């Protein structure tokens, strides 16, 4: 039996260069599943970099140089608390402004914030949760923003597919909206738009190729195209910036572009384990009570922290909402087995494949084993600090989100939002048998 992770040549997320392998077995020790869920953790812990993400930034660079396409970058929350580490910055340093400036210097047309997409996801996902609770829907509802977790359920626990929230991930919601609402707003042919997501995650490269994530082309009644064209990791963005000889820490700070450039604190903390749950609870409280939580009640410390599995019971006007949070796929598997056996019951469950959440994604700057815990905690603290700093901390209070619903989606779970912002899942257990 091989002591290294075998990577199929068609894997959209990672690639293995056998000539660099020193047969240390670190990748095999890191991998938790026999069939790849594209998480890229094997790449994070491969000392000689024999396994890396499958790089796409050269393709985007060529598009920028040689076509008249409108290139739109969208950056995930966890990227901005890790990117600086690639330029010898402090661990967990929040470098949003310099990141935006650096991306503009690469020649892109618009730079948007996926924190906006996170807010959009929460508005839909929290509405879905409340609808399930009030109308006898399938419970517990599972979060669906981690593509490795979604693929894990589809392959290993397909009987739980209906538990997954139908809400798309923030990146997928955002790019579907770009190629419909934004394209119409700016009078751009959506076929001329190239959407690029900068993510901490290699599994996003797999996610955006899913056939069902092409709703903008269906909505626009045009030939088939994907909502998201490319995903590059934090490491890829850093490599590109270095190749262009951009001195990252000498850059002035700049802001995201309007329309999808504002995110709330709730969207920012999406990058942390427990962050999706906390953001959703803030908005679910509003949907159930009709009132916003006061500022001193916004932080749900019960769902924070690095414990393998966290449980909490949240009282919302007499309704006891039972929740659980797991990070790391072994912990998720154990939790699913308990749910399956009827040993525990919840209303809402958040799962992230990577330990600590997206801040530890397979495309983030590598961390030495000696600094692993410390760096993860610094990245997490940085996102929570930004949440505390922002004046808007509720996803449904994001002014750009409000404008989007007024002008396009009308209301959460509307017919048009179901068409563009929600999806379905499939039984992929056949992949375990080596079938296509």
Decide if 128 is catalytic.
yes
pLDDT digits (tens, 9 = 90+) for 27-38: 999 999 999 999
User: Is-cis flag, bond preceding 140, omega within 30?
Assistant: yes
Lowest mean pLDDT among 3-7, 221-225, 268-272, 276-280: 3-7
Catalytic site includes residue 145: yes
Active-site option among 148, 278, 358, 428 = 358
Catalytic residue chosen out of the listed positions 151, 204, 310, 378: 204
Which of these is catalytic: 86, 96, 125, 386? 125
Residue 143: pLDDT band (50, 70, 90) is: very high
Domains of the chain: 1-54 (no CATH), 119-166+264-429 (3.40.950.10)
With a cut of 50, say whether residue 436 has pLDDT above it.
Answer: no
Is pLDDT at 435 greater than 60 in this prediction? Answer: no
The mean pLDDT value for 30-55 works out to 96
For 2-12, how does the pLDDT look when each residue is reduced to its tens digit (9 = 90+)?
A: 789 999 999 99
Let me know: does 202 contact 53? Beta carbons within 8 Å. Answer: yes
pLDDT above 80: residue 101: yes
Class of residue 269 by CB neighbours under 10 A (exposed 0-12, middle 13-18, buried 19+): buried
Res. 134: pLDDT tops 50: yes
Stretch 377-400: mean pLDDT, rounded? 98
Which pLDDT belongs to residue 275? 98
pLDDT score recorded for residue 204: 98
Q: Return left, alpha or beta for 342; rule: phi > 0 is left, psi -120 to 50 is alpha, else beta.
A: left
**Among this protein's residues, is 373 annotated catalytic?**
no
CA dihedral 46, 32, 323, 358 (to 10 degrees): 20
Catalytically annotated residue among 6, 49, 90, 212: 212
Alpha helices in 182-314 (DSSP H): 183-185, 203-207, 215-219, 234-243, 265-268, 275-289
What share of the chain has pLDDT > 70, as a percent? 99
* Structure tokens, 149: 């977790």
pLDDT of 434 strictly over 70: no
Whether 418 is a known active-site residue: answer no
**For 92-108, what is the mean pLDDT?**
98
Q: What does the pLDDT look like over 55-74, one tens digit per residue?
A: 999 999 999 999 999 999 99
> Average pLDDT of 14-31?
96
- Give the pLDDT score at 433: 82
pLDDT in tens, 304-335: 999 999 999 999 999 999 999 999 999 999 99
* In the chain, % of residues over pLDDT 90: 98
Which distant-in-sequence residues (6+ apart) come within 8 Å of 255 by Cβ?
Answer: 97, 100, 261
Q: State the average pLDDT for the chain.
A: 97
């Amino acid at each position: 039996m091989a002591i290294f992770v075998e990577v199929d040549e068609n894997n959209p997320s990672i690639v293995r260069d056998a000539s660099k392998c020193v047969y240390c077995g670190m990748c095999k020790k890191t991998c938790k599943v026999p069939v790849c869920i594209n998480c890229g953790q094997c790449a994070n812990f491969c000392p000689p970099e024999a396994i890396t993400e499958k790089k796409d930034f050269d393709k985007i660079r060529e598009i920028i140089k040689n076509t008249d396409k409108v290139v739109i970058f969208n950056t995930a929350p966890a990227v901005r608390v890790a990117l600086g580490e690639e330029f010898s910055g402090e661990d967990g340093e929040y470098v949003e402004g310099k990141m935006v400036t650096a991306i503009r210097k690469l020649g892109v047309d618009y730079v948007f914030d996926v924190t906006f997409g996170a807010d959009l996801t929460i508005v839909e996902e929290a509405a879905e949760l409340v609808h399930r609770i009030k109308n006898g829907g399938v419970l517990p509802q599972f979060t669906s923003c981690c593509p490795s977790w979604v693929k894990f359920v589809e392959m290993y626990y397909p009987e739980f597919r209906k538990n997954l929230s139908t809400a798309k991930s923030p990146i997928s919601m955002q790019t579907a909206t770009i190629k419909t609402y934004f394209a119409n707003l700016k009078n751009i042919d959506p076929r001329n738009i190239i959407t690029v997501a900068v993510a901490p995650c290699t599994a996003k490269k797999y996610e955006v190729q899913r056939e069902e994530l092409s709703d903008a082309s269906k909505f626009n009644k045009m030939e088939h195209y994907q909502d998201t064209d490319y995903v590059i990791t934090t490491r890829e963005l850093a490599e590109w910036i270095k190749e262009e000889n951009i001195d990252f820490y000498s850059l002035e700070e700049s802001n995201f572009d309007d329309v999808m450039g504002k995110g709330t604190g709730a969207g920012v903390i999406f990058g942390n384990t427990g962050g999706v749950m906390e953001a959703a609870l803030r908005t679910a409280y509003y949907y159930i009570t009709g009132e916003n939580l006061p500022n001193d009640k916004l932080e749900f410390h019960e769902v924070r922290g690095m414990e393998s599995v966290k449980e909490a019971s949240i009282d919302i006007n007499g309704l006891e909402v039972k929740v659980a949070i797991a990070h790391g796929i072994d912990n998720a598997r154990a939790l699913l087995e308990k749910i399956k056996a009827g040993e525990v019951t919840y209303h809402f469950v958040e799962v992230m494949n990577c330990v600590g959440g997206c801040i530890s994604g397979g495309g983030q700057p590598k961390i030495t084993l000696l600094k692993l815990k410390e760096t993860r905690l610094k990245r997490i603290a940085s996102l929570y600090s930004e949440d505390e700093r922002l004046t808007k901390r509720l996803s449904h209070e994001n002014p750009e989100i409000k404008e989007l619903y007024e002008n396009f989606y009308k209301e959460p779970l509307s017919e048009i939002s179901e068409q563009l912002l929600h999806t379905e899942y499939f039984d992929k257990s056949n992949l375990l048998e080596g079938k296509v």
